[in-house]
Amino acid sequence: MSADKKLFIKTYGCQMNVYDSERMAEALGGKGYVQTDTPDDADMILLNTCHIREKAAEKVYSELGRFKGLKAANPDLKIGVAGCVAQAEGEEIIRRQPMVDLVVGPQSYHRLPAMDDTVRRGAKALDTDFPEDDKFDMLKKRKRASRAPTAFLTVQEGCDKFCAFCVVPYTRGAEVSRPSARVISEAHELVESGVKEITLLGQNVNAYHGHEGGLAGLIWELDKIDGLERIRFTTSHPNDMDDALIDAHGSCDKLMPYLHLPVQSGSDRILKAMNRKHTAESYIKLIERIRAARPDLLLSGDFIVGFPGETDEDFEDTMSLIREVNYGQAYSFKYSTRPGTPAAEKPQLPDDVAADRLQRLQALLKSQQIANQDAMVGGRVKVLFEKEGREAGQLIGKSEYLHAVYAEAPKEALGQVVEAKVVESSPNSLAGVCL
């Protein structure tokens, strides 16, 4: 095989897809592929897709259409679709877009080298099974080349919650946790390659059970790694936020004071319709317990407005919850149907009603974010600098609260945690002066 074939991967969606794309590139590296930043001269194009957003499949077909000219100019170019849309659509992708050579689901991408052999022989390759073999075991170990100071590390996949609006249980499968020994080994390799901060990933990461102490037990094991300075995790479900994990937020210095804990709605009636299996009150009491353990915690959440059956009163319940909790960051969306999910079969709200509610909700969330950031001006944060800024002598990094921070700093500070005084707050970032 040629040693200089070029691989272009376009990644959609969540951090887990970013991690998966890295591992896909590593898997194909053994077949002689090196990554390129442009599809124009690629020998293989992979779209690593996400099925969470509205009309995700149609957007993938539209993206594939843009590559027709490249395929016509280079018949040897191979095009693949990976990820959750691949899992959901399967063979339909090849039927609708015959120029696609391979389709692989998120649990099967360790088989990409064999699929590459298949397509190089001129055949199509399709794998959307939920294989019994562990893809992480089958993948080659990460290369120990120098890395950026932050990295994602998948520890759990799939979800057993079956929220009425969500396709994850159908595209990612049941909850599966990686054994802690393998996670810890991979974490050591990351730290040896220069990583200072690791974010543990899972569709429902706090349901992790690969360690006898759950996610908290894994965090305490990672806490022992010399050179690892920061630990984060995302995304969590309120029902799996146990006492040990709350205690870890209060006592583990390496666990950052940032928590993404989606609630989706403040209406008990809508939460029941969503099959969330918690109430607004239980969520608020949980937040109170976590903040008692870690008073400086910055909380992030997810909200869906316009869910089928949502009334004005239901929406006001959500606004009331937001006012009571006070979010530092949040993500909010207008409900959109996902074929095959229970909510997709229910009567939908008028689009203008949902759009108006989303605008009002986002205005409230934005005001809370701005107020939280403005209150930090004059205070201090610890910044892990990750890259150089556009201005000379400027570095960009993340605070312990996950804010982007811009500051004048020597280039030697890259990859280091440096204390900075916050001098200015912008809509999506902070400006600081290194101390």
| 3-state secondary structure at position 195 | coil
- Residue 332 β-bridge partners: 303
Place of tokens 């399967």: 90
Query: Residue 417 burial (CB < 10 Å; 0-12/13-18/19+)?
Result: middle
Structure tokens at 176: 């599966």
Other C-beta atoms closer than 10 Å to the C-beta of 259 total 25
Helices (H), 140-206: 168-171, 180-192
Q: Which helix (H) or strand (E) holds 45?
A: strand 44-49
Amino acid letter for position 375: A
Handedness of CA 34, 36, 39, 45 (dihedral sign): positive
Separation of CA 278 from chain center? 23
- 3-state SS class at 87: helix
Provide, for the chain, the percentages of residues in helix, strand and coil under a 3-state DSSP scheme, each rounded to the nearest 5.
Answer: 40, 25, 40
| Distance separating alpha carbons of residues 67 and 42, to the nearest angstrom | 11
SS3 215: helix
Strand partners, 255: 231
Yes or no: say if 194 and 188 are a contact pair by the CB < 8 Å rule.
no
Which residue blocks in 165-273 are alpha helix, DSSP H?
Answer: 168-171, 180-192, 214-222, 243-251, 268-273
- CA dihedral of 314, 318, 323, 328, whole degrees rounded to 10: -170
Q: Does the annotation flag 434 for ligand binding?
A: no
Estimate to the nearest angstrom the gap between the alpha carbon of 142 and the chain centroid.
20
Structure tokens at 414: 């890259």
Cα separation, 160 vs 127, in Å, equals 23
Closest CA to 331 of 366, 295, 379, 287: 366
Query: Which residue ranges are tagged as binding site for [4Fe-4S] cluster?
Result: 14, 50, 84, 159, 163, 166
Please give the annotated binding residues, written as ranges.
14, 50, 84, 159, 163, 166
